[in-house]
């Protein structure tokens, strides 16, 4: 059990890569794991973490050059060095010196430890890539605030200036708040309460445009309001419901936003009684192959949710022509790294 614990902790120490603050701790654990006199972790530019003393006169640069040139385990007593590979690309080197109990170093054992380090670095790179994808998708979404919505909102505000100046002022404040939130750079995550406030602001602007023919229902359980979720995941779905569900419907329409806890999960549902769509079209939209006009918001949110939480946490769409659309977000209430700033 002690060995398994050390293996797990080495992975934790390398969660920020070779240049993370815990790289030295990883080198210390590896030294203890293999019973070596010294351990060096290096990237392609040279050593980044060292624990223990190498033999006097050791030409570490020559050892690293040999491994990097051939990409294989290199042994020159009392040293043994093995390459570190991430996604089959040479990333660095593990160098082990001697043995504290004077037994001969086993090349296979050093290679196995190097594989362990490589896997930890591979997981780090995967997490980093997922974060970059999520950030890029968020930037895309921020850049795609509909000019159609901006124009209509300003037109509605202008129409109320003479007939109802008080409401015009409130709508203008709502519009400014909505833009401020949409372009906020405070962080990648917000609370459900923050996202709900922005969504309600958006809906009030749309209700004014619909001449109050749009009915809005919001029900949110208090226990999920502090839950951290990715920025801009609810509002784009609501916007999609308005643009592609209610705008095309004759007569009044209704849109509801509800949220509740379901064990360890936070569940948010957005439902409209608009024109709906074919289920096959909904699946195509989430797959990113639907019509561009309908595709951007839902596909973007679905992709970001899966990137942050895992492939099982994407959007669920229930819809049929003439029967409206219901979109469900179901994510963990607590997730490592998903915190507000």
What's the rounded Cα separation, in Å, for the pair 247 and 162? 26
| Token code pair at residue 266 | 């936070």
Indicate whether 175 pLDDT > 80. yes
What is the predicted pLDDT for the residue at 318? 95
Domains located in the chain, CATH noted: 2-127 (3.30.450.40), 144-332 (3.30.565.10)
pLDDT at 266 over 90: yes
Q: Report CA Rg, the chain.
A: 28
The reported pLDDT for the residue numbered 328 is: 96
> For residue 67, what pLDDT is reported?
92
d(CA 173, CA 153): 11
Residue 143: pLDDT band (50, 70, 90) is very low
Region label for 198, one of left (φ > 0), alpha (ψ between -120 and 50) or beta (otherwise): alpha
Write the pLDDT tens digit of every residue in 206-244: 888 888 788 999 999 999 999 999 888 998 899 889 988
Distance CA 89, CA 83 (A): 10
Name the residue with tokens 């080495």. 10
* Cα torsion through 221, 222, 225, 226, rounded to 10: -140
Question: E strands within 128-275?
Answer: 189-191, 214-220, 228-230, 253-262, 265-272
Which pLDDT score is estimated for 68? 92
Can you tell me the mean pLDDT for 139-146?
A: 55
- The pTM of the full predicted model, rounded to 2 decimals, is 0.60
Closest by Cα among 338, 187, 196, 170 to 259: 196
Q: Is 203 exposed, middle or buried (0-12, 13-18, 19+ CB in 10 A)?
A: buried
Rounded Cα distance, 78 and 98, in Å: 5
How far is the C-alpha of 180 from the C-alpha of 143, rounded, in Å?
13
Give me the percent of the chain exceeding a pLDDT of 70.
88
Q: What number is the average pLDDT over the span 305-317?
A: 89
> Residues 277-282: what's their mean pLDDT?
90
Alpha carbon distance 167, 163 (integer Å): 9
**pLDDT 10s digits, 44-93:** 888 999 999 898 888 999 999 999 988 899 988 889 999 998 878 888 99
């Amino acid at each position: 059990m002690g060995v398994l614990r050390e293996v797990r902790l080495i992975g934790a120490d390398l969660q920020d890569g070779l240049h993370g603050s815990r790289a030295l701790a990883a080198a210390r654990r590896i030294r203890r794991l293999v019973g070596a006199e010294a351990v060096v972790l290096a990237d392609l530019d040279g050593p980044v973490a060292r624990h223990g003393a190498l033999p006097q006169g050791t030409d570490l640069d020559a050892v690293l050059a040999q491994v990097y040139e051939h990409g294989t385990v290199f042994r020159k007593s009392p040293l043994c060095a093995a390459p570190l590979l991430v996604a089959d690309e040479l990333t660095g080197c593990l160098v082990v010196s001697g043995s504290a109990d004077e037994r001969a170093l086993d090349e296979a054992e050093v290679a196995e430890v190097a594989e362990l380090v490589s896997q930890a670095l591979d997981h780090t790179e995967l997490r980093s890539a997922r974060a970059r994808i999520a950030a890029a998708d968020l930037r895309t979404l921020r850049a795609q605030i509909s000019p159609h919505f901006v124009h209509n909102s300003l037109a509605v505000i202008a129409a109320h200036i003479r007939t109802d100046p008080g409401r015009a002022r409130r709508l203008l404040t709502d519009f400014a708040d909505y833009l401020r939130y949409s372009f906020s750079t405070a962080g990648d995550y917000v609370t459900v309460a923050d996202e709900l406030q922005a969504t309600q602001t958006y809906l009030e602007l749309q209700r004014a445009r619909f001449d109050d023919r749009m009915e809005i229902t919001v029900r949110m359980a208090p226990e999920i309001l502090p839950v951290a979720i990715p920025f801009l995941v609810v509002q784009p779905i609501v916007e999609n419901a308005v643009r592609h569900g209610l705008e095309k419907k004759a007569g009044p329409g209704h849109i509801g936003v509800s949220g509740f806890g379901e064990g360890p999960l936070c569940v948010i549902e957005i439902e409209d009684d608009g024109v709906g769509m074919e289920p096959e079209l909904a699946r195509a939209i989430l797959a990113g192959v639907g019509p561009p006009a309908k595709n951007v918001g839902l596909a973007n949110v679905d992709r970001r949710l899966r990137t942050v939480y895992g492939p099982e946490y994407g959007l669920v769409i229930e819809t049929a022509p003439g029967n409206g659309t219901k979109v469900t977000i179901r994510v963990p209430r607590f997730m490592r790294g998903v915190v507000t700033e």
